[in-house]
C-alpha cells in the first residue's frame, strides 16, 4: 500500500464509501464496451442496459442517454467516449459493470481503440436485418487485437426483416465460436438484454491488477469543465487512485493533485477511491487539458512510483486538413480562443496559425476526417457564434527531395513542379461489403478513384467483401455518398491507414487577374487537374461580380494555364434618376453599396465577396466525380 507523505487521512481499507458505491473486488468488476457498425443500435441497447440495472429511473430516461452533446443527438452518432457504472446482481453477487461507450463512425476509429484499452470485453453488436458490415469487421479486429473477449450479439431481432439465424451463423464464423454462443437481443423491446448482462458477467474476465502495486491509471478520455478544470476519464490498472492523491503525468512529467475521484452512475458521483480495474473520473483542477494527455499513465508521485508507463493505443492522427478563417477579420482572436476551448475536449483536433493573402489570418486545422471537420466547424459557428470560411480539405502529402521528406499540410506550401523528386500521398486499405448484385458498380467506383484491388471474397452467395488500396484523397470527400447511392445504401465501408505511395500529383493554382489565390490552390492527381481547374474557374466566373476591368480567372499548373474564364468588365453601375428631390434614398443606396464593398476581399485588383469564397470552397458531390 502506498505510504507517501501525501497519503489520505484515512487508510483506504477503512474508507467509508460515498452514496453506497462500495469499492468492489476486482473479481466482481467487468469492463466492457459495445462495438457496432453505425445505426446497428448501440445507443438504444445502452439505454436498455441503463434501465435494466436501474442506473437511470424511468422518469429520467431519455433516448440515447449517453450521447450528451446536442450535436451528437441530432446526428445520431456518438463522438465522446463515456464510461458508466452499472450494478447488476447475479447468483447472489453484485457485480460492477463499467460500460465504456464507443463512437461508431470511421472518423473516430482512434476513439474506439482508446476505449478498448480500458476494457476486458466487447459486445460485438450486429443488426439482424443488415448483417455484418465493414465497421463490424474493423471494430472486431481492433477488439481482438487488443486482446478483448468478444461477446457476439445479434440486435434488432424484433424487426420484420430480421434474419436472426443467418446473422448468428455469420457472427459465429467471424468470431470463431459456436452459433449457440451468439446472443439475440432487441434493444428496442429489451428482449434478451438480461441474458446479455449475464453473458457479460460470465464470459468477460475480471480485470487483473493488485491493490498493493504502485498506481498506474490510464487516461482514456478527458473533458474540460470551466469550473473544475480538466476532468480525466481513467481506468485504474494497478494500485488504488485516491481522492487528493498527488499524481504524476508521465508523458509530460508533471505533478498534480487529484482533487476529486468519482464514477459516472450515470451522473458524476464522487467516491473515495478507485481500485484496480475500476473506471471513473478524476478532477484535476488543471486548466490546460494538454497536460492531461489522453493515453497517458498517472502514477502517484514519490516513493513507490511506477516506472513503466502502460502501453498506450493508436494515437489520433489528423487525416484531413483545412484552413479555417474568420469571415470578419477581427474575429481571429475569438477563433483562436474557440479552437483552444474545443481542443480541451477533442484531443484529435490540431491547429496552427496560417496566413492567407486572400483570407487573412486564420488556422490550418487537422481533423480525423470530414465528419470530424464538419462537427468542429459547426460547433465553432453554433457555440461560439463565429462566421467561418473553410478552405477545401486536403490530405497530408509527402514531398520527397533527395533524402529529405517535406510534410505538406497546405497546398500553398507545395513546392513548384520541378523542384522535387516525387510526391507521396496517403493510401488507405478500404474494406467494402456489398450485396453481390452491386459488385460491378462498387468496382467501377473504386477503379475511377484510382483504387487497386487487393482481394475479394464472397461472405455468402449474396454478399461480397472487397479490399481496395485507395488514395485517401479520393475517399474523404464524397466516396461514401457515392458508394451508398450506387448500392442503394446497402454497401458499407471502413478503412485504415496503409502508408504513403508515390502519385502523379500536381498543385493547381487559381489566379485572379494573374494573382494566385492561395485559398483556392489544391493538390490533385494530374489526370484530374484539368477538371478541377475547369470547375473552379467556371464556378468563380459565376460568383465573382463584374469589376471595373475585364478580370481573367485562370487555373494553372506552375506557369502553364490549363483553364481560363473572363469576368467581363462591368459597364453600368449608376442610379438613373436623381431628381424629385429625394436625395436621401439615393445616398442610402450608395451607403448600402459601400457596406457591401466592405465585405469584399481584395485579391490583387479583384474584389471577391465573402460569399464567393464560401460557395467556391464548398465541397460538393459533383466536383470530384
Partner 1 sequence: MSGLYVHVPFCLTRCGYCDFNAYTGLDHLRSRYVRALLREAELAGAAWPEPVETVFVGGGTPTTLAAEDLAALLVALRERYRVPPGAEVTVEANPDTVDVGKLVVLRESGATRLSMGAQSFDPTVLASLERVHGPDAVRRAMAAAREAGFEDVNLDLIYGAEGETLASWQRTLREAIALGPEHVSAYALTVEPGTPLGRAVALGLRRPPDPDLQADMFALACELLGEAGYRHYEVSNWARPGRECRHNLGYWRRRPYLGLGAGAHSFRGERRWWNVRPPEEYLRRVEAGELPIGGEERLGPEQAHLEEVLLRLRILEGVPASWAEPRAVEPLLDAGLLREQGASLVPTERGMLLLNELVLALAG
Summarize as ranges the residues that interact with partner 1 (CB under 8 A): 548-549, 568, 570-584, 586-587, 590-591, 593-594, 597, 605
* Residue with Cβ nearer partner 1 (527 or 582): 582
How far apart are the C-alpha atoms of 366 and 397, rounded to whole Å? 13
* Residue with Cβ nearer partner 1 (462 or 593): 593
Q: How far is the CB of 610 from partner 1 (least distance, A)?
A: 18
- Name the one residue in this structure whose C-alpha cell is 441497447: 45
Torsion of CA 426, 427, 431, 432, to 10 degrees: 90
Spatial CA neighbour of 291 closest among 247, 353, 249, 324: 249
Strand partners, 246: 257
* Residue with Cβ nearer partner 1 (62 or 597): 597
Work out whether strand 360-367 and strand 350-356 pair parallel, antiparallel, or are unpaired.
antiparallel
Q: How far is the CB of 540 from partner 1 (least distance, A)?
A: 20
Q: 3-state DSSP helix/strand/coil percent for the chain, to nearest 5?
A: 30, 30, 40
How far apart are the C-alpha atoms of 593 and 615, rounded to whole Å? 21
Task: Name the helix (H) or strand (E) containing 89.
Answer: strand 83-90
* Residue with Cβ nearer partner 1 (454 or 548): 548
Count CB atoms within 10 A of the CB of residue 510: 26
Strand partners, 452: 469
* Residue with Cβ nearer partner 1 (62 or 568): 568
* Residue with Cβ nearer partner 1 (59 or 594): 594
Q: How far is the CB of 542 from partner 1 (least distance, A)?
A: 16
Q: How far is the CB of 471 from partner 1 (least distance, A)?
A: 43
Q: How far is the CB of 67 from partner 1 (least distance, A)?
A: 44
- Whether residue 522 contacts residue 532, with contact meaning beta carbons closer than 8 Å, is answered with yes
* Residue with Cβ nearer partner 1 (227 or 579): 579
Residues comprising the chain, all counted? 625
Q: Phi and psi dihedrals of 191, rounded to 5?
A: -60, 135
Work out whether strand 29-36 and strand 93-100 pair parallel, antiparallel, or are unpaired.
parallel
Q: How far is the CB of 597 from partner 1 (least distance, A)?
A: 6
Q: How far is the CB of 595 from partner 1 (least distance, A)?
A: 10
How far apart are the C-alpha atoms of 521 and 514, rounded to whole Å? 14
* Residue with Cβ nearer partner 1 (287 or 585): 585
Q: How far is the CB of 502 from partner 1 (least distance, A)?
A: 47
3-state secondary structure of 68: coil
Amino acid at each position: 500500500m502506498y505510504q507517501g507523505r501525501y497519503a489520505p487521512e484515512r487508510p483506504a481499507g477503512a474508507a467509508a464509501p460515498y452514496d453506497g458505491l462500495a469499492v468492489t473486488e476486482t473479481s466482481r468488476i467487468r469492463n466492457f464496451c459495445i462495438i457496432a457498425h453505425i445505426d446497428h443500435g448501440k445507443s438504444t441497447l445502452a439505454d436498455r442496459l441503463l434501465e435494466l440495472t436501474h442506473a437511470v429511473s424511468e422518469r429520467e430516461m431519455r433516448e440515447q442517454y449517453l450521447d450528451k452533446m446536442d450535436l451528437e443527438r441530432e446526428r445520431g452518432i456518438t463522438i465522446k467516449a463515456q464510461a458508466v457504472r452499472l450494478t447488476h446482481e447475479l447468483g447472489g453477487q453484485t457485480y460492477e459493470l463499467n460500460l465504456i461507450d464507443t463512437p461508431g463512425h470511421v472518423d473516430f476509429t482512434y476513439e474506439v481503440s482508446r476505449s478498448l484499452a480500458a476494457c476486458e470485453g466487447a459486445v460485438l453488436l450486429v443488426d439482424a436485418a443488415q448483417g455484418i458490415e465493414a465497421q463490424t469487421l474493423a471494430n472486431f479486429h481492433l477488439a481482438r487485437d487488443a486482446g478483448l473477449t468478444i461477446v457476439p450479439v445479434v440486435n434488432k431481432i424484433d424487426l420484420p426483416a430480421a434474419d436472426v439465424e443467418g446473422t448468428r451463423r455469420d457472427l459465429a464464423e467471424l468470431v470463431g465460436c459456436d452459433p449457440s454462443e451468439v446472443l439475440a437481443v432487441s434493444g428496442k423491446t429489451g428482449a434478451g438484454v438480461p441474458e446479455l448482462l449475464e453473458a457479460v458477467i460470465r464470459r468477460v474476465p475480471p480485470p487483473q491488477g493488485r491493490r498493493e502495486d504502485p498506481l498506474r491509471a490510464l487516461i482514456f478520455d478527458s473533458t474540460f469543465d470551466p469550473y473544475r478544470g480538466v476532468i480525466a476519464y481513467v481506468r485504474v490498472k494497478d494500485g488504488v487512485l485516491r481522492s487528493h492523491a498527488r499524481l504524476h503525468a508521465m508523458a509530460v512529467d508533471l505533478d498534480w493533485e487529484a482533487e476529486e475521484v468519482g464514477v459516472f452512475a450515470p451522473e458524476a458521483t464522487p467516491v473515495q477511491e478507485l481500485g484496480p480495474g475500476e473506471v471513473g473520473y478524476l478532477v484535476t483542477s488543471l486548466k490546460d487539458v494538454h497536460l492531461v494527455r489522453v493515453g497517458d499513465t498517472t502514477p502517484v508521485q514519490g516513493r513507490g512510483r511506477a516506472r513503466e508507463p502502460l502501453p498506450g493505443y493508436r494515437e489520433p492522427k489528423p487525416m484531413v486538413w483545412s484552413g479555417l478563417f474568420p469571415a470578419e477579420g477581427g474575429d481571429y482572436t475569438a477563433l483562436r480562443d474557440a479552437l483552444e476551448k474545443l481542443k480541451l475536449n477533442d484531443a484529435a483536433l490540431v491547429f496552427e496559425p496560417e496566413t492567407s493573402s486572400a483570407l487573412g489570418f486564420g488556422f490550418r486545422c487537422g481533423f480525423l476526417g470530414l465528419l470530424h471537420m464538419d462537427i468542429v466547424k459547426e460547433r465553432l459557428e453554433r457555440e461560439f457564434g463565429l462566421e467561418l470560411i473553410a478552405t477545401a480539405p486536403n490530405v497530408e502529402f509527402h514531398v520527397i527531395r533527395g533524402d529529405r521528406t517535406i510534410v505538406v499540410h497546405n497546398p500553398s506550401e507545395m513546392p513548384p513542379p520541378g523542384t522535387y523528386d516525387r510526391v507521396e500521398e496517403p493510401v488507405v486499405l478500404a474494406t467494402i461489403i456489398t450485396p453481390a448484385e452491386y459488385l460491378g458498380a462498387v468496382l467501377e467506383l473504386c477503379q475511377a478513384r484510382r483504387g487497386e484491388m487487393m482481394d475479394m471474397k464472397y461472405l455468402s452467395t449474396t454478399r461480397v467483401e472487397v479490399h481496395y488500396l485507395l488514395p485517401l484523397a479520393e475517399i474523404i470527400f464524397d466516396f461514401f455518398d457515392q458508394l451508398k447511392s450506387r448500392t442503394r445504401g446497402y454497401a458499407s465501408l471502413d478503412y485504415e491507414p496503409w502508408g504513403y505511395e508515390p502519385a502523379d500529383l500536381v498543385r493547381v493554382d487559381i489566379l485572379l487577374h494573374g494573382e494566385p489565390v492561395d485559398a483556392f490552390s489544391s493538390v490533385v492527381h494530374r489526370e484530374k487537374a484539368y477538371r478541377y481547374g475547369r470547375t473552379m474557374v467556371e464556378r468563380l466566373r459565376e460568383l465573382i461580380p463584374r469589376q471595373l476591368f475585364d478580370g481573367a480567372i485562370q487555373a494553372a499548373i506552375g506557369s502553364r494555364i490549363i483553364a481560363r474564364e473572363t469576368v467581363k468588365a462591368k459597364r453600368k453601375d449608376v442610379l438613373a434618376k436623381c431628381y424629385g428631390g429625394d436625395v436621401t434614398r439615393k445616398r442610402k443606396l450608395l451607403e448600402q453599396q459601400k457596406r457591401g464593398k466592405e465585405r469584399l476581399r481584395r485579391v490583387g485588383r479583384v474584389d471577391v465577396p465573402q460569399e464567393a469564397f464560401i460557395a467556391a470552397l464548398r465541397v460538393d458531390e459533383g466536383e470530384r466525380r
